[in-house]
Structure 1
Amino acid sequence: MKKYNSILKYIFVVITALFITGCVHDDKYDEPNLEGYSCKSENYYSQNGYTKWTLEMLKGKPQNTSFADKAYIEGYVSSTDETGNIYKTIYIQDSPENPTQGLTVSVNMVSTYTRFPQGSKVYIDMQGLALTAYGGVVQLGMITPEGTRIPEKEVKNHIAKDCNIKANIVPKVMTIAQFADAGSNNLIGCLIQLNNVEFENRALCTTYAPNAVTVNKTIGEGGSLQNGVWKYAKTALVRNSGYASFANQVLPAGNGSFVGIFSKYNSDFQLYVNNTQDLKMNNFPRLDGITSNPCEFNQSVLTPKTVAEVKSLAVAGANWTEITGDFSLKAQVVANDETGNLYKYVYVEDATGGIRININKVDLFLDSRFRLGKDVNIKLKGMYIRNVNGELQLGGLFVSGGVTQFGQIEEMNMYKYFFDSNTVVRPVIPTERTISQLTNADVGRWIKLKDVQFINSDLGKMLTESNAVTNRTLEDCSGKTIILRTSNQANFGTKDNPVKPATVELEGGKGDAYAILSVFNGTYQLWITRLSNIDFDNTLRCDGTVYTPLPVIYNDPFAAGGFSSDWTTVNVAGPNQAWTTSNQGNGSNYYAVLTGVLNNVNEDWLISKSVSLAGKTKAILNFTTDVRYSGNALQVYATENYTGNPATTTWVQLPATLDTNTAAFGDWVSSGNVDLSAFLGKNVRIAFKYTSTASAASTWEIDDFKIKGQ
C-alpha cells in the first residue's frame, strides 16, 4: 500500500508541476512539439562521418548559401526564452566559461527552453543550413521562402541536445568599453556580466517595456559630472520585449551587476535580459550621485494638493512660479499623446479641475505612469507653473540663447516628479457642458459637448489642410461656436495602417464631442485624442436638413502597390526616373512617389485616366502630398484633351495646397477641395508634373487621390 501511495504521490507531483508551468508561462505562444526530438553524443557524429567545425570556422564560411557539407558544430546554450524576452532565437557559445566565440541561431520555434535549456550542450548538423546576416550580426538559419529561420519541423533534424552534459554557464565579465575592442563581435551570443553599471536617469522608475512594444533602455558605466549633468563614460542598450513576462516590472534603480546576452544591431551594442534575477542592481549611491531609491513614493512626508490648489500657487503677473513646498498631487490621466494630436504633454484631472503638464519626451502614453485613465502620483517640489496665453500649465525651465524660459520637464528629470500609483485604469468621465457654460475652471478638463456639428462652411473639408495645426469650427443648435484644433502630425490609425487627419473628411451630422478644453488669449479651444471623439452619427443637422457628402466618382489610394492601367507615366526630360509606388515608412499603405537624383535635370509626369464629369453641377479634386528635400514644387494640372504627349496638350494649372515641409517625411497635407467646375460636362484628366534641377531634387509622394462630383 505504501508503494502505491508513493506512485500516486509522484503522479500528482508531476501533474501539478505541469499545471503550474502551463499557468505561469505566459509567452502568448504555443509550446513546441517535442515529438521526434532525441539526445545525441559527440560519438554519434564521429562514428557517422561528420566533420567537426568550430564556431570560428563556421563564421568564416560564405553567407547566403546552404551548406552541403556533412559537418557539425557544438556549443552551450547561453540563453533562455522562458520569460519571452528572447524570441525565436537560441544563443550558444563555445565554452560554458570564458568563451571565445558565440553564435546566434535563428529558429521558427518558441519556448525553446523546454528542449534546450540554458547550459545544455548542443550539436547542430550543418547540412542544409546557411549563414545570413541581420543588422550586421551573423546568424545561422535555413533559407526558406518564409525567411531564414530554421522551421520548427526541421529543428529536431538539425539540433540535438547532449544526452548527458549540462553545464553551468558562467557569465564572461566585461566592461562596456571593451565592446569596441577588436574581436568583441566574436562574443555575440555569449552570456556576459557587467559590473558597476546602472540604468541612466531617463530610464529610472519606468518599466522594462510597455505592453507589446519592444524598447531600448540605456545602461552606463564610469563617467563624470559635466555642467551639472552626469555623463557616462560608456553606454550600451538593453533591449526589452513588451511580451516578456517581466515587461511591466520597474527597472532596478541602483548600481550593480548586469548579466545578459551580448548582441549588436548595426553599430549599436545591445544586451538581452534572460530573466530579472540576473540583475543585481540595487546598490546606492549610484555613480550619478543618487543616494537612495528614487522610485519610492512616500506620501506621509508630503502635503497633498488638489488641481485647483496647485493652480492657486501661480503668482499673478509673474513669468512663472516655482513650487517650493513638499507638495504632492494625485490625479487621473485624462488625455495623452497616443495619437500624436497632443505632443510632449499630458492632461491630468481630479474633482477640482484639470491641468496640462509639459514633458520633453515623445510617446508618453507608453509609460505606465501616463496610461489613459491611470492615477499618477506627482511630487510638485521643483516644478514651475505659468500662465501660458490664459492657460495655467506645469513644466520646467530651460535656457535658450542665454535666456531662461518656461517649458518642459526634461526626460532625465521625470523620475523626480512622476510615480506610478499602481492602481488600475479607471474610465475617464467627461464633464458635460454646453458651449455657453464653459468657464476658465473647465480649462484642462476632459469635457463633453452635446449635440454639436461642424459649421456649414467647413463641410466637405478635411480635418487638416496644412503642415501644422488646422482650426475647424463646431457649433451647437443655438448658434454658439467653439474652435476644434487638430495637428497635422496626428495619426488616428495605427503604425501599420495610419489614418492621417489630412485624409479624414469632416462628418456632416450632429452628435456629442469629447475633448480637452484649452484656452488661447481668451478663446476656448478643443483638442481630441481620437476620431471617435467627433463621431457625429445623427444625420439630422440643427436645421433639420441632412448633409450629403459629394459622391466619389473616382479614387485611387494606390493601396495594392504599382500603377493600374488608369495611370500613365511619362519621362519628358532627363534620365528615366519615372513615378512609382512605395509603402516605405507608411505601414501597409502604398503611395505614388518620385525620388529625384541630384545633377539630373528631369521632367516626369504622372497622368490619370479620363474621368467623366458629364451631367455634374459640382466637382472637386482632393489628394494628399508629402515632400522631402529641397527642390521644385510639384505642379498639378487638368486637361480635357490629352493628346498623348504632355508637350502638345493644353493644361490648366490647379491651385492645390501642397506639403512644404522639406525637412521630414510623414506630414501628409491635404490638397483641399480643388474646384473642377471649369470641366463640368467634360472628360477630365489630372496630371502631376515633377521637375528637378542640377542642384535640387525633391522626393514627392501622392496618396488618397479622389475626384468627387454630383
Structure 2
Amino acid sequence: MNKAIKSLKFILVLIASVAITSCVQDDDYTIPSSLGDEENKVLEELLLTGNEISFETVKAMYTEGDFIEPVDTNDYVKGYVTSSDQTGNFFKEFFIQDSPTNPTSGLKIILNQVDTYNQFNLGREVYISLQDLHIGEERVGNGVITIGGGTETDQFGTTVTSLNEIQIRQKVLRSSVTETITPLNLGLTAINGDHVGLLVTVDNVEFADDLAGENYFDPTEVFDTQRILQDCSGFTYPQFILETSSFSSFKNEPLPILNGSITAVVSKTFDGASLVLALNTIDDVNMENPRCTLLDIEDFEVIFEEGFDNSLGAWEVINTLGTNEWYASSYSGEGYVRGSAYDDDITLEMISWLISPSIDFDANENERLILQVADAFSNGQPLKAYYSNDYTTGSNPDDATWTEIGASEIAALPENTGFFNNVYDETGLIDISMITGNAVLAFVYDSDDATISSTIDLSNVQILAN
C-alpha cells in the first residue's frame, strides 16, 4: 500500500513538473538558436511570403485624426532594439531603429509584457508582422508613431493599445542576430522629432548648475522627473530634458556634477509636448571632465552683419523653381526677408536663393555664423544654408558648387505652427571656419516638391571671428 502511494505521488510530481516546464516554455525568452524553434518557423514563413517595408512607409500608414484601421496587407518591418527595461526606466514598451549604424528613423512598440529585455535585448534584430496590427499614437497628439495590437476611442480621439500575449508571440519575431548599436552622435541642439526612438550620444554636456546634490529622481514627483542637461556650444546654455521614471532602479543615484557624455534614447514626455532623453542604464553616463564655460562675446568681433532693414541691400534673389521668392519687408521696426511657398490655400513648388555679396574669409580666423529666424504656420523646415567659392553674380546658382552649412543648427530652431508671433530665435554658432578665399553665403527656401509651406523670416545674419 505504501509503495502504491509513493508511486502515485511520484507520478503526480512528474506530471506537475511537466506542466510547470510547459508553462515556462510558453514564456521562454531565451535566444532562438535553431530553425527548429517555433518562433524561427514563423519568421521563416514571414520572410518567404511577406513584403518588407520601410519605417517611413509604416509611419505614413497613420494620419492623425483618422479612424485607425488594422493593417490588411502581409507587410513586415525590420528593426533593431534601442531601449531596455532592465533598469525599469521603460515599461511595457521598446523602441526599434532602422539600422544599427547611422539610423534615420525609429518606431515604438507597446506590449502587455514586462521585462522585455530578456526577449528583446538591446541590438536584437526584430521583425514585426504588421497584418492585423494597428499603427497610430499611444496618446492623441503626442506625435510618437507606435505599433499596437488594437485601438480605443475617447473624447480626444483614437489611440492604439498594447499587443497581447498571443500577438507578441505571432507578430513580434526575433532573428538570431544581435547587433552592436552605434549611437548617433548629436549635439543637444541637433536633436529633433525625427530622432524619436533612436539611441544617441551627446558629448560635452552637464547637468544644470542648480542641480548639484540632486538625484536622478525627485521624491516629490509621482511618475517622472525631468532634469535639465546643458552644453556650452556658444554664448548661452542650450538645454535638453533627461527624464527618469519613478520605477527606475537608479532613481536615487546622485546626478554627476562634472561634464562629459550621455547615451540615451530620444523619446517624448507623456503628453508629447517636449522631446526628452531616457536612459537605459546610468552606465551610459560618463561625466568625468571639468565643467565647461560659455564663450565670451567680448572675445569675438562682428566682421559681417546684415539686418535687412526693409531692403535686400547688396543681396541677390534668384529662383531656380517656381515664382514665389524671398522679399524684403518689416514689422514694428524689425526688418527681415520673408520666404513662403503658401499661396491661396495651396503649397507651391519653390526654390528661392538669397545670396550674399562676396566675403573675404582669409581676412579672419575661426569664423562663426549666427542667424535670427522667425516662422509661422510651420509644417516643416524649408531653410537651408550654403557657401560657394565659384558662384558668379547674376548666374544660375545650379551652375556653381555649393557646400551645406548649419544643417543641425537650423533643424534645431523651434517651430511655430500658429500665427505670426514675431519671436526671432537665434541659431547656435554655426562653424564656418573651413571657408577660405572669397566666397558667398546663400540661404535657400526649398518647399521640398510643394510639401512645405512654412513662412520663414530671416532678420539678421552675423559673422563673428576671434
Structure number with the bigger relative contact order (C-alpha 8 A, sep ≥ 6) is 2
Q: Normalising by structure 2, report the TM-score.
A: 0.49
Larger Rg: 1
Give me the TM-score of the superposition, normalised by structure 1. Answer: 0.33
